[in-house]
Structure 1
Amino acid sequence: MTVKDDAFTNWKNREEIAESMIPIIGKLHREQDVTVLLHSRSLVNKSVVSILKIHRFARQIAGEELSVTETLPFLHALTTLDLGPSQIDLGMLAATYKADSRGLSVAEFTAEAVAGATGENKIERREARDVVLYGFGRIGRLVARLLIEKAGSGNGLRLRAIVVRGGGEADLVKRASLLRRDSIHGQFQGTITVDEANNTIVANGNEIKVIYANDPSEIDYTGYGIKDAILIDNTGKWRDREGLSKHLRPGIDKVVLTAPGKGDVPNIVHGVNHDTIKPDEQILSCASCTTNAIVPPLKAMADEYGVLRGHVETVHSFTNDQNLLDNYHSADRRGRSAPLNMVMTETGAASAVAKALPDLKAPISGSSIRVPVPDVSIAILSLRLGRETTREEVLDYLREVSLTSPLKRQIDFTTAPDAVSSDFIGSRHASIVDAGATKVDGDSAILYLWYDNEFGYSCQVIRVVQYVSGVEYPTYPAPAV
């Protein structure tokens, strides 16, 4: 047999193993609310090729590809356990098992590693929490996709309604069409039908009422059977407590803003300060996409090296706030054509760091340039550190942070030598460290952080909503602190 035939046979064998994993992963998710991950990447509803690609990704971080032959025994071991709602990372199980010297079997090690999610320790499955989207723009539609995707088990979060201003003829059909297909993020994964008689969009079996209103005061959500809901305002029209309080109508319990909050509205970056949310807090903000991109790596660097000062320069994709062609705009420069120019603008991300990281006393400045790409941005984070270090040490540290730390869902890591912005469309991380571009000289470090300013940010929003709703299930094995 030739080497070529050997490689092809190996591929076919791995395809067969990955195919056998799909029904096991699906059953765990539907029946027990268990989400199977691989190095923080969900394997739920993934194709054979996607499962193999996610396994191969481990090569970039851990230095070698993780084979499905290594992870399948752990997946089989999970099926023998009395698991409760949880997230279980096969990549972490395999890595920690390899480092364990006690001679335990895979079944014994797995049972021990996920003990917090089994038997008397397991969390009971909770009733689904109602969610309402106020606005249905770029972020709103991506958040809708994520909510529908995560409703697979029938528990957790359930998108019940979308509130929009009244439109013209075929308004509902047009809004459903924008949810069904997206020029950047591709086709919706599933089926969508429209019930115009009842103003309802049905997506993967989820009945979503479309409510037409020009102001929050016009709506009584209990009239739609909605109770104790979390409302996600993605319009940005109101950003202070007084304005956002308008949403606290019958049926609404909490309000989450997908823009930086003003005044005393808490600005939350999941993974960094979400655990500071008070149980009785009804109004909070998920800050900005750029704040979510820079704060997790900034915290990681501050924890390990100390940060004396910093500057962030964001090269940001253009947004709907800009004009397609030169026209009047109330803000400086933003009236100039977005697809034809690099446009200098301000960013509030640097000042927002103080809200998310109050213990970081280092001054952080910032500026931004909008560029003619429709999605994915890069933040260039220049830091003066508290001690000298080397490029190799920083990269080893950030690689480990992306794999095993509590920030592993926020920080990703790539060593791809030819990575460009479009490679990160659809990334679920808040930011991705570009190893090849990283520069370190003594106590000076410059990190290049890619981020999908639409989808990655939407994932952070969902994580905050899961946390405040009580359906953010623990991950096993527990990440290193």
Structure 2
Amino acid sequence: MTVNDDSFSNWKTREEIAESMIPIIGKLHRERDVTVLLHSRSLVNKSVVSILKTHRFARQIAGAELSVVETLPFLRALTTLDLGPSQIDLAMLAETYRADERGLSVEAFTAEAVAGATGGNKIERGAGRDVVLYGFGRIGRLVARLLIEKAGSGNGLRLRAIVVRGGGEQDIVKRASLLRRDSIHGQFQGTITVDEESGTILANGNAIKVIYADDPSEIDYTAYGVRDAILIDNTGKWRDRAGLSQHLRPGIDKVVLTAPGKGDVPNIVHGVNHDTVKPDERILSCASCTTNAIVPPLKAMDDEYGVLRGHVETVHSFTNDQNLLDNYHNSERRGRSAPLNMVITETGAASAVTKALPDLKARITGSSIRVPVPDVSIAILNLQLARETSREEVLDHLREVSLTSPLKRQIDFTTAPDAVSSDFIGSRHASIVDAGATKVEGDNAILYLWYDNEFGYSCQVIRVVQHVSGVEYPTFPAPAV
């Protein structure tokens, strides 16, 4: 047999194994609210090739490819357990099993590693939590996709309604079409139909009522069967407590803003300060996409080295608040054509750091340039550290953080030498460390952090909503602290 024949035979074997994993992963998700992960990447609703590519991706960050031959026994072991709602990382199971020297079987080790999700420890599945989207623009539609994707057994978050201003004839059809097809993020994974008579969009079986209103005060959500809901405001029209409190109408329990909050509105970056949200807090903000991109790696660097001062320069994709062609705009530079120019503008991300990291003593400054790409941005974080270090040490630290720390869902890591912005469209992490671009000299470190300012940020929003709604399920094996 030639090398080519041997490689192809090996590929076909791994394809067959990945095919056998799909129904197991799907059944665990639908029937038990268990999300199977691989290095914090969900394997739910993934294709054979996607599962194999996710296993191969481990080579970039862990140094060696993870094989489906290695992870399948752990997946099968999960099916024998009385699991409750949880997230289970097969890569972490395999890694900790390799390091374990007790000689346990895969079944015995898996049962021990996920014991917090079984028997008397498991979380009981609830009735689900209603969610309402106020606004249905770029972030609103991506959040809708994520909510529908994560519906699972129906016992988690349930998108019940969206609120928009009336847009004339066939408004609901046009909005459904925008949900179905996206020029950047591609086709919706599933089926979407419209019931114009009832004003409902049906997406993968989820009935989403379209409510037309010009003002929050016009709506009684209980009239649409919505109860105790979390409302996600994607408009950014109101940013302080007084304005956002207008959403606290019948049927709405909490309000989450997808923009930086003002005044005493808590700015939450999941993974960093989400555990500071008080149970009785009814209004909070998910800060900005750039704040979410820089705060997790900033925390990782401060925890290990100490940060004395820093500056962040964001090279940001253009957004809908800019003009396609030169035209009047309240902001002088943003009035100039977005697809034709680099546009210097301001960013509030640096000042927002203090809300998410109140213990950070370093002064962080920031500025921003909008550039002619439709999605994915990069933040250049220039830090003066409290001690000298080396490039190798910093990269080893950030690689480990991305693999095993509580920030592994926020920080990703790439060693690809030819990485460019479009490679990160669809990334679910808050930011991705570009190892090849990292510079360290003495006590100065410069990090280049890619981030999908649309989809990655939307994933962070969903994580916050899951947390405050009580359906953020624990991950096993537990990440190292």
Same fold per superposition (TM over 0.5): yes
TM-superposition CA deviations, 1:292-346 (whole Å, max 9, x none): 0000000000000000000000000000000000001001200000000000000
Aligned residue in 1 for 2:310: 310
Following superposition, the deviation at residue 153 of structure 1 comes to 1.6
Aligned residue in 2 for 1:90: 90
Aligned residue in 1 for 2:273: 273
Q: Equivalents in 1 of 2:291, 2:127: separation in Å?
A: 32
Tell me the matched-pair count. Answer: 481
Q: Equivalents in 2 of 1:293, 1:402: separation in Å?
A: 13
Q: Does 1:69 align with 2:97?
A: no
SS in 2 for 1:387: coil
Unmatched runs of 5 consecutive residues or more in structure 2: none
RMSD of the TM alignment (CA)? Answer: 0.3
Q: Equivalents in 2 of 1:329, 1:48: separation in Å?
A: 48
Following superposition, the deviation at residue 455 of structure 1 comes to 0.1
Q: Equivalents in 2 of 1:151, 1:421: separation in Å?
A: 30
Q: Equivalents in 2 of 1:155, 1:424: separation in Å?
A: 31
Mapping for residues 36-435 of structure 1, pairs under 5 Å: 36-435=36-435
Following superposition, the deviation at residue 126 of structure 1 comes to 1.1
SS in 2 for 1:294: helix
SS in 2 for 1:412: strand
Following superposition, the deviation at residue 152 of structure 1 comes to 2.1
TM-superposition CA deviations, 1:262-315 (whole Å, max 9, x none): 000000000000000000000000000000000000000000000000000000
Q: Equivalents in 2 of 1:417, 1:256: separation in Å?
A: 38
- Read off the aligned partner of 1:162 and give its amino acid letter: I
- Read off the aligned partner of 1:16 and give its amino acid letter: E
- Read off the aligned partner of 1:290 and give its amino acid letter: T
SS in 2 for 1:334: helix
TM-score with structure 1 length normalisation?
1.00
- Read off the aligned partner of 1:465 and give its amino acid letter: V
- Read off the aligned partner of 2:143 and give its amino acid letter: V
Q: Equivalents in 1 of 2:32, 2:144: separation in Å?
A: 23
Q: Equivalents in 1 of 2:174, 2:333: separation in Å?
A: 32
Following superposition, the deviation at residue 433 of structure 1 comes to 0.1
- Read off the aligned partner of 2:214 and give its amino acid letter: N
Q: Equivalents in 1 of 2:352, 2:152: separation in Å?
A: 35
TM-superposition CA deviations, 1:407-427 (whole Å, max 9, x none): 000000000000000000000
- Read off the aligned partner of 2:202 and give its amino acid letter: V
Q: Equivalents in 1 of 2:323, 2:467: separation in Å?
A: 36
Mapping for residues 448-463 of structure 1, pairs under 5 Å: 448-463=448-463
TM-superposition CA deviations, 1:369-415 (whole Å, max 9, x none): 00000000000000000100000000000000000000000000000
Q: Equivalents in 1 of 2:301, 2:25: separation in Å?
A: 35
TM-superposition CA deviations, 1:63-107 (whole Å, max 9, x none): 010000000000011011000000000000000000111111111
SS in 2 for 1:197: coil
Q: Equivalents in 2 of 1:127, 1:63: separation in Å?
A: 42
Q: Equivalents in 1 of 2:24, 2:153: separation in Å?
A: 14
TM-superposition CA deviations, 1:445-479 (whole Å, max 9, x none): 00000000000000000000000000000000000
TM-score with structure 2 length normalisation?
1.00
Q: Equivalents in 1 of 2:190, 2:248: separation in Å?
A: 32
Q: Equivalents in 1 of 2:152, 2:292: separation in Å?
A: 27
Q: Equivalents in 2 of 1:335, 1:167: separation in Å?
A: 25
SS in 2 for 1:193: strand
Q: Equivalents in 1 of 2:164, 2:259: separation in Å?
A: 18
Q: Equivalents in 2 of 1:393, 1:155: separation in Å?
A: 43
TM-superposition CA deviations, 1:159-198 (whole Å, max 9, x none): 0000000111110000000000000000000000000000
Q: Equivalents in 2 of 1:154, 1:430: separation in Å?
A: 26
Q: Equivalents in 1 of 2:122, 2:377: separation in Å?
A: 40
Q: Equivalents in 2 of 1:77, 1:194: separation in Å?
A: 41
Q: Equivalents in 1 of 2:62, 2:12: separation in Å?
A: 24
Q: Equivalents in 2 of 1:363, 1:186: separation in Å?
A: 40
Following superposition, the deviation at residue 127 of structure 1 comes to 1.0
Q: Equivalents in 1 of 2:45, 2:426: separation in Å?
A: 15
- Read off the aligned partner of 1:102 and give its amino acid letter: R
Q: Equivalents in 1 of 2:87, 2:332: separation in Å?
A: 46
Q: Equivalents in 2 of 1:14, 1:417: separation in Å?
A: 27
Q: Equivalents in 1 of 2:173, 2:117: separation in Å?
A: 43
Q: Equivalents in 2 of 1:55, 1:83: separation in Å?
A: 24
Q: Equivalents in 2 of 1:83, 1:329: separation in Å?
A: 55
Q: Does 1:447 align with 2:470?
A: no
Identical aligned residues as a percent: 89
Q: Equivalents in 1 of 2:22, 2:80: separation in Å?
A: 17
Following superposition, the deviation at residue 46 of structure 1 comes to 0.3
SS in 1 for 2:132: strand
TM-superposition CA deviations, 1:174-231 (whole Å, max 9, x none): 0000000000000000000000000000000000000000000000000000000000
Q: Equivalents in 2 of 1:461, 1:385: separation in Å?
A: 30
SS in 2 for 1:65: coil
Following superposition, the deviation at residue 45 of structure 1 comes to 0.4
- Read off the aligned partner of 2:370 and give its amino acid letter: R
Aligned residue in 1 for 2:2: 2
Unmatched runs of 5 consecutive residues or more in structure 1: none
